[in-house]
Structure 1
C-alpha cells in the first residue's frame, strides 16, 4: 500500500509541476521578433501611434562624453526626412551635428557598459522599436554604431523587475548614406521605461554612436466582417411548431426559412410560404 501511495503522490506532484509550467508559459511574453526593414512600414491597414519618451544614458562603468551631437538628437526627430509617419522616414547622412549622437567612453568604459534609457512618463502600451544606426560622415565613423543590444522594458527606473527582456538583437551597420529605420516588433507590452542595453558596437570600444530612436504602437485598422444577425426563434423549434404557435405569418416564415426541408410542416402546399392563414 505504501508503494502505491508513493507512486500516486509522485504522479500528482509531476502533474502539478506540469500545470505550473504551462501557466507560466501562458503569462510570459514570447521572445521579441525582428521585422523586416522596410522604408514604408505603415500599411493602409494599420494605424501607428508614435511615442516620444525622454532619453537618458546610464553606464555600468566609467563615463560618457558626447563628442559630436547630443543625447537629445536621438529622439527629437532631427535628421528625419520624407513622407509618411516617422517610422517611414529616412535619416539623412552627412556631418550636421544636430542630427546625431556620438560619444567618447572614458575611464575604462566600453560599448557594453552603455544603456540608452527612455522614460514615457507613465505606463504605456507599445509593440514596436525603430532604430536608425549612426550614419554620419563615412564608413569609418559609422563603426561606432551599435551592433548588438538587448531590449529591456520595465515599470522601475532601475530595471530591477523587467516585464520584458529580449534575446540579443543585431542592428545593421550604418552605411553613411540616408537610411530607413530597422523595425523590431514584439507583443503588446505595458511599461513606463525602456532600455537599449548595448552589448557591442562595430568598431572601437571607446566610442558609441546612434542617430534616432522611436517607440510606437501599431494597431490594425482592418474592420472585422460581422456575421448576419440571426432572427430570434420561438421555443417550439426545439420540439415541434404549429401555425398556432405564431402571432403573424412573418414569424412562421422566419422558422420556415431557418429550417430547410420544412421539418415543422408549416408549408403544407409547398409553395414556399408558411402558415398562409395567419395575418
Structure 2
C-alpha cells in the first residue's frame, strides 16, 4: 500500500511555485492579450539570480526574491517599450515571433555569460518528517512566499487605484482612456509586474532543483505555465495559482502510481497526463476552471 500523504504534501508545496510561475504568464495575457513564449527564459534568469546571490553574497533565496522581482520588472519595462509596444502596431504575430526569438537569445546569452554546465545550491535550514518523508523548511518557506505574493497581487488588483485601472483597461481600453486612464502606462507596468512575478518564481524554483539550473532550463517551464494557465483560466491570476496546485498534485501523485504500475518513466507519464488534461480543457472548457 502506497502512503500518498507525503506525495500529496509535496504536490501542494511544489505546486505553489508552479502556480506563481504561471501567474506571470496569465497576468500578461489577461491584460495585453499576448502569450509570452519567452516566459521560461525569465524563469531561468530568476533562478540564476538566486544562485549568484547565494554563491557570491550568501543571500538566502527568500531575500533574493526582492532582487529577482526588481530585476524582472526592469526587464519587463524594457520588453514592453522595445518589443511589445512597437510591434503591436504591426500585428500580434510579429510580437509572438519576436518573443520566441528573444527567448532563444536570452538562453544563448546566458550560456555565453555563465557557461553550459548545470549548477545549483542547497539552502539547508532544517526539515520535518511526515510519514517518513522529509520536507525541507526552506521549501515550506518558498511555498508560503509564493502564496503570499499571489494574495498580494489579488489585493493590488481589487483594493488599489492602479488595480482598478487595470481592470478598467481589460474591460474597455477605449472607455478607460476616455475617462483619463493612461492605457499605455497600465500596459507597461502590467508587463513589468508579469515578468517580475516570473523571475520571482524562478528564484523560488531553485529550492526544488538544487542541481538543475542551466541556460536551457526555461522551455519546459514555458509549456508547464501554459498548461497551468489554461487549466485555471488564461485571464484569471488566482485561477492560475490554484491550477498550479492541481498540476503539482498530478505530477507528485502520478509518480508513485505510475511507478507501481511498472512504467519506465513515471515522471514523464505524469507530464503526459497533464498535457492530456490541457487538451481536454481546450476542447470542453476553454475558459478554464475560473473566469477572469
Which TM-score tier does this pair reach, normalised by the shorter chain? Answer: under 0.3
Q: Which has the higher helix share?
A: 2
TM-score norm. by structure 1 comes to 0.22
Q: Which has the higher strand share?
A: 1
TM-score norm. by structure 2 comes to 0.22
